[in-house]
Amino acid sequence: MPPSMQVPRQVRIALGDRSYDILIAPGLLAQAATWDGLPAAAAALIVTNTTVAPLYAARLRAALGTRYRSVHEVVLPDGEEHKDWTTLNRIFDALLAHGCDRKTVLFALGGGVVGDITGFAAASYMRGVPFVQVPTTLLAQVDSSVGGKTAINHPLGKNMIGAFYQPARVVCDLDTLRTLPDRELSAGLAEVIKYGPIADLAFLDWIEANIAALLRRDVDALAHAVRRSCEIKADVVGQDERESGLRAILNFGHTFGHAIEAGLGYGEWLHGEAVGCGMVMALQLSRRLGLIDEAFAQRVTDLIARAGLPTVGPALGAERYLELMRVDKKAEAGEIRFVVLEGPGRAGVRGAPDALVRQVLADCTR
Amino acid sequence: MPPSMQVPRQVRIALGDRSYDILIAPGLLAQAATWDGLPAAAAALIVTNTTVAPLYAARLRAALGTRYRSVHEVVLPDGEEHKDWTTLNRIFDALLAHGCDRKTVLFALGGGVVGDITGFAAASYMRGVPFVQVPTTLLAQVDSSVGGKTAINHPLGKNMIGAFYQPARVVCDLDTLRTLPDRELSAGLAEVIKYGPIADLAFLDWIEANIAALLRRDVDALAHAVRRSCEIKADVVGQDERESGLRAILNFGHTFGHAIEAGLGYGEWLHGEAVGCGMVMALQLSRRLGLIDEAFAQRVTDLIARAGLPTVGPALGAERYLELMRVDKKAEAGEIRFVVLEGPGRAGVRGAPDALVRQVLADCTR
């Protein structure tokens, strides 16, 4: 690995007048330059959660205090099971209680849940205020903070209520990954691994060679994983911001994964764990459709296992899986649409016979 | 008035790839051509309320039944006091219960509340599905259904949570105005009158000459009022979709009006009644700022009264008015921004000394 100072430290998301940069480096939270050039405003609101607040909120508040006259803070409960309207409304309550106007800048300090919910609050408060993503989990740094998908869950489906709404900047301070629990590190690696089979076999090789370094949190390995993941995501999102086609490939493993999350109850498995296991199912579906061979499916499955992720799904029953997947956002006229590998390194979206899906579920659940 | 068949029956909102037409004529609901060219989908969802459903839902359902495999319906409680998250969530519940996918087209059949709430549901369901405005009140036909402002209320402020999200079409069937209660007809006339002093003195002349015809629901007079109102709104929205400047002039009377609505409790006064009275206050503020003379202020106030609208506000107390107006979306860093007349036929946005606003409130409330 080259030293982290010599690699590019930012990735550009090119979306015309909604373009923005992803900054990736250790120590960014405390560096003044990190916050240069953001929209001017009288007030900022930091949205974080009970786990992250004691670790990083003071650092962010100090950095923002020199730039905004008032810096408010709202601390949400931690966990996917709180990604709902009640929690979202706490942000609106805070904004209105503090008299925040339509120039107020929101800062999402936390993982994917904080980022998704804060982004939707920013999209909706007074019909839209600016926001900045400050992801503190690997999963949020490599995936959820980038690309403008914001949402809350509905009891009948994950991320069903939300907006495409781009942040003004994404700040990935690699130091924040030091405090991440092992289980969440593994969950983040699921989304890193994802980019290999769908888009970049060289990156898949690299992850296989560096999985041990990633698991021991080598900062150069993490920097490369975050940067390359963001580059691939930036490329896809730049071509299809609102998921009218190509962007759906980023949901590899997510159709099965969302069913696991909803079926077990949100928060039981971490999102990344469900995606890891969902990828195993999507690999097997691709194999049964004759698109990839068993060797490739096994190779990626082995890597998922080495990352510390589950490769066998919960036994919800095939009918329950199918029912949950029919409300997936990719479904059309009741037909489930799966992201499959069209071959190693290439993905697409297809329907599949229920019988085949039942076979996959029988193989991959216990 | 020329016969309605000879005047242009549609107005274009020019917003690039978000452009759409407003159709204006009697009998549109039942005419097949009204619904040609909308996005293809398996399902449609009609969102309406308990007042409008028995009058027009069957007609719309029949028209849509030939175009969509399933036509679902959700009937909301009627009234501004229901423009909240609980009611919005009934739309999401219906969409998910029916397994509606991201191509589903929503139809907002009703007044401003149904349009605003359905528009926000369409903006947010699966991060955005198409929707069509089918306004059945004069207020919705001349103002709220056009231009893509969607929202729900928060206990601390009106329209605080929403999105800029354009409909695919607006269908103003003038026949629906026949069943409108007199009080709601007057409320709609407040928004019609608004366009005169802010943008078009010839239109103000025309409204003065035709107020009796409008009140007796002459269909040609209504057609002209709706069309000219939509033309002015289309022109303003085409220049400033997201209200970064010019568009704010369309909120003439609304800063005071929103305070009346919130102060009395939503639903006590109709939105148009509050706007009518709010315009009287805004006229007096403009006069006290030396921007218009008393004769012009009185001329417009007389027209508001002739339309059957209140011209004296409720005695909430000046401090309560000021407190409520500070959370207005136009406020910046705690300073209230008022839409005032810069002269007859021209509007702008300005701050004003609290003392002056107190004088206006003392003059205009009882």
Contact list in B for residue A150 (CB cut-off 8 A) is 127
Q: Among A129, A149, A179, where does a domain finish?
A: A179
- Report the gap between the CA of B57 and the closest CA in chain A (Å): 24
Residue-number span of the structural domain to which B285 is assigned: 182-364
Check which CATH number belongs to the domain holding B96 and give it.
3.40.50.1970
pLDDT of the residue at A133? 98
Inter-chain CB proximity A327 and B85 less than 8 Å: no
Tell me the CATH number at B358: 1.20.1090.10
What pLDDT shows up at residue A330?
A: 87
Q: Which of A61, A72, A258, A288 is catalytic?
A: A258
Same domain for A350 and A281, yes or no, is yes
Looking at the structure, tell me whether residues A31 and A62 fall in a common domain: yes
- Shared domain check, B123 and B190: no
Active site positions of B, annotated: 127, 149, 191, 233, 243, 247, 251, 254, 258, 271
**Residue A233 falls in the annotated catalytic set:** yes
Report the residue from B93, B125, B334 with minimal CB separation from A99.
Answer: B334
Asked if the C-beta of A70 comes within 8 angstroms of chain B's C-beta atoms, the answer is no
The reply to whether A165 and A207 lie within a common domain is: no
Inter-chain residue contact A103 with B332, CB threshold 8 Å:
yes
Q: Of the candidates B179, B203, B237, which is a domain's last residue?
A: B179
Which among B96, B150, B333 is the nearest to A101, CB-wise? B333
ipTM above 0.90, yes or no: yes
Catalytic member of A254, A287, A288, A337: A254
Residue B183 in contact with partner chain A when CB distance is under 8 A: no
Q: Which residue has the tokens 């499959």?
A: A340
Residues A158 and A305 in one domain: no
Q: Is B125–A331 a contact, with Cβ atoms under 8 angstroms apart? A: no
Question: What would the pLDDT profile of B265-297 be if each residue is shown by its tens digit?
Answer: 988 999 999 999 999 999 999 999 999 999 999
Å between A149 CA and nearest CA of chain B = 8
Domain count, chain B: 2
Residues 284..323 of A with a Cβ closer than 8 Å to B: which?
Answer: none
Instruction: Say whether both B154 and B220 belong to one domain.
Output: no
* B331 close contact with A: CB closer than 8 A: yes
Give, rounded to a whole angstrom, the gap between the first and last alpha carbons of chain A.
Answer: 40
- Predicted local confidence at residue A332, as pLDDT: 86
Whether A40 and chain B come into contact, CB under 8 Å, resolves to no
Which of B146, B179, B212 marks a domain boundary?
Answer: B179
Written in H, E and C, the secondary structure of chain A is CCCHHHCCCEEEECCHHHCEEEEEECCHHHCHHHHCCCCCCCEEEEEEECCCHHHHHHHHHHHHHCCCCEEEEEEECCCHHHCCHHHHHHHHHHHHHCCCCCCCEEEEEECHHHHHHHHHHHHHECCCCCEEEEECCHHHHHHHCCCCEEEEEECCEEEEEEEECCCCEEEEEHHHHHHCCHHHHHHHHHHHHHHHHHHCHHHHHHHHHHHHHHHCCCHHHHHHHHHHHHHHHHHHHHHCCCCCCHHHHHHCCHHHHHHHHHHHCCCCCCHHHHHHHHHHHHHHHHHHCCCCCHHHHHHHHHHHHHCCCCCCECCCCHHHHHHHHHCCCCCECCECCEEEEEECCEEEEECCCHHHHHHHHHHHEC
Same domain, B160 and B204: no
The pLDDT, as a whole number, for residue B26 is: 96
Shared-domain flag, residues B76 and B146: yes
- Minimal Cβ distance to B85: which of A85, A150, A327: A85
Tell whether A102 lies on the interface with B, counting CB pairs under 8 A: yes
Same domain, B273 and B299: yes
Preferred mutation among A18, A68, A86, A101 to probe B, highest tally of B CBs within 10 A: A101
Whether A194 sits among the annotated catalytic residues: the reply is no
B contacts of A334 (beta carbons < 8 Å): 42, 99, 101
User: Quick one: B141 and B58 in the same domain?
Assistant: yes
Which parts of chain A sit beneath pLDDT 70?
1-8
pLDDT of res. B8 = 59
One domain, residues A165 and A104: yes
Q: Among all chains, which residue has been given the structure tokens 């080259």?
A: A2
Are B150 and B189 found together in one domain? no
Spans of chain B, pLDDT less than 50: 1-6
